Amino acid sequence: MNVKGKEYRTVWMEGGSVFMIEQNLLPFEFAIHEARFYKETCHAIRTMIIRGAGAIGAAAGYAMAQACLEAPHNERQVYLDEARRTIESTRPTARNLFYAVERVYAAALVSTGEAISEARRIADEDAAASEKIGEYGNALISDGAGISTHCNAGWLAFVDYGTALSPIYRAHEQGKSLFVYVDETRPRNQGSRLTAWELNNASVPFAIIPDNAGAFYMSKGKIQMVITGADRIASNGDTANKIGTLEKAIVAREYNIPFYVAAPLSTFDPDCHTGTEIPIEERSEDEVLFQTGRDESGVDRRILVSAPGSQALNPAFDVTPFSYISGIITEKGIIKPSVETIKKVINP
């Protein structure tokens, strides 16, 4: 994506450092974060300096490559095994993370150089897959469409292009008239902070709506399709995505609105048979009890927005059953979610 006249990827590696866009500062400040060691990259993943399925995967692959560079010669294998466990513990739901670590770890058993090359290949593949998702998804978008999104599955969530937003960008580039209804996506507000920033940067028409306003706009005929991303897809098509996605799918079915998931093949987990097997990350209750923003004087503030003394539950993801999904937009085309079709795509 072009930001202020310069092309950026969301994450990349130079020398022994991993560089990434600091997403906790957006939309108020655009800055690049440097993680010099693998544990610093793990911290960035855990604290959501970098987030989103594909971006997490690329960062995790780079972290594994960093571990190869850091490993002492006489205890290399022990160090790599410990690093792998540490990286995989950062975010348990996102399949792309485990996919990338597995590949780079296997390459590390050959050489450090091969591990670095493999990490870069994974990032390049992620960008290429997102671009193809945009091409296939664009064919689903009619001129004049109203499109609902949830969370951020755009350029910031992947190495480049994104998944759910990639078809929207392609349609906009081709001159199609469209309007995007951007869910806030509480509690971290990735929609109102990140998706809105992306769409504004790309001059795509949009409006932020409260999470609980989606049904209202669907009932009024304002929304013709829903596109979301995915963090892990089971082999039967059940899909884990940001909390609140399941509600959008249920409402979309009620109003006969197609509900699409956009994801690369690296998000599919062939060892996970149904959505009940997908681990759901439980994050800190502070994300619900407090909100962070910038006041009129330009100062960042964290404030309590809940009744003092309250407790909160904060599951980061929910699972949408495959029966609610009209199709999954992949780099290989649009598939109907089922065990048979997914198996054919993953193992052609």
Helix (H, G, I), strand (E, B) or coil at 330: strand
Amino acid (one-letter) located at 298: G
Can you name the residues that pair with 227 across neighbouring β-strands? 260
> 347: which residues sit within 8 A by CB, 6+ positions away?
270
Catalytic residue among 160, 211, 231, 318: 231
Reported as type and span, the H/E element at residue 136 is: helix 112-138
Reported as type and span, the H/E element at residue 33 is: strand 32-35
Residue in the structure block whose two tokens are 């995007």: 180
Is 124 labeled as catalytic in the residue annotation? no
- Residues 54, 60, 66, 70, Cα dihedral to 10°: 180
C-alpha distances in Å from residue 325, one per residue of 2, 187, 247, 248, 264: 32, 24, 12, 11, 16
Q: What is the DSSP string of 147-194?
A: EEE-S--SGGGSSSS-SSSHHHHHHHHTT--EEEEEE--TTTTHIIII
Catalytic residues: 231
